[in-house]
Amino acid sequence: MSGHSRDALRWATDAHYEDAERYDRTYRMRRHDVAFYREMAGEHGSPVLELGVGTGRIALALARDGHELVGIERMQPMLAKLRTRLAKEPAEVRERVELVRGDIRSFRLSRRFPLVIAPFNVLMHLYARDELERMLACVRAHLAPRGVFVLDVRMPDLRSFTRDPERAFKCPTLRDPHDGSLWDTAEIFQYDAQTQVQMITSTFREVAPPHRAYVKPLAHRQFFPQELELLLHYNGFAIRDRWGDFERGPQHVDCESQILVARASSRRARGGA
Ligand X SMILES: C[S@@+](CC[C@H](N)C(=O)[O-])C[C@H]1O[C@@H](n2cnc3c(N)ncnc32)[C@H](O)[C@@H]1O
Residues that bind ligand X (CB under 6 A): 13, 17, 27, 52-54, 57-58, 72-75, 78, 103-105, 119-122, 125
Are 102 and 72 in contact, with CB atoms under 8 Å apart?
yes
Smallest gap from Cβ 27 to ligand X, in A, equals 6
Instruction: Write out the H or E segment, with its range, that includes residue 140.
Output: helix 129-142
For residues 157 and 206, which CB has a smaller minimum distance to ligand X in the complex? 157
Q: Is the peptide bond before 119 cis (omega within 30 degrees of 0)?
A: no
19: amino acid identity, one letter: D
Is the Cβ of residue 124 or residue 264 nearer to ligand X in the bound state?
Answer: 124
Output the CA–CA distances (angstroms, integers) from residue 161 to 95, 113, 156, 204, 223, in the order listed.
44, 37, 9, 22, 13
Helices (H), 3-123: 6-18, 20-27, 32-44, 57-64, 76-87, 91-94
Least Å distance between CB 122 and ligand X?
5
Shortest distance, CB of residue 167 to ligand X, whole angstroms?
A: 26
* Closest CB to ligand X among residues 19, 184: 19
Closest distance to ligand X from the beta carbon of 208 (Å): 30
SS3 of residue 100 by DSSP:
strand
214 three-class SS: strand
Nearer to ligand X, 44 or 125 (CB): 125
CB 40 within 8 A of CB 255: no
Residue 125 beta carbon to ligand X: minimum distance, rounded to whole angstroms: 4
Of 4 and 105, CB closest to ligand X: 105
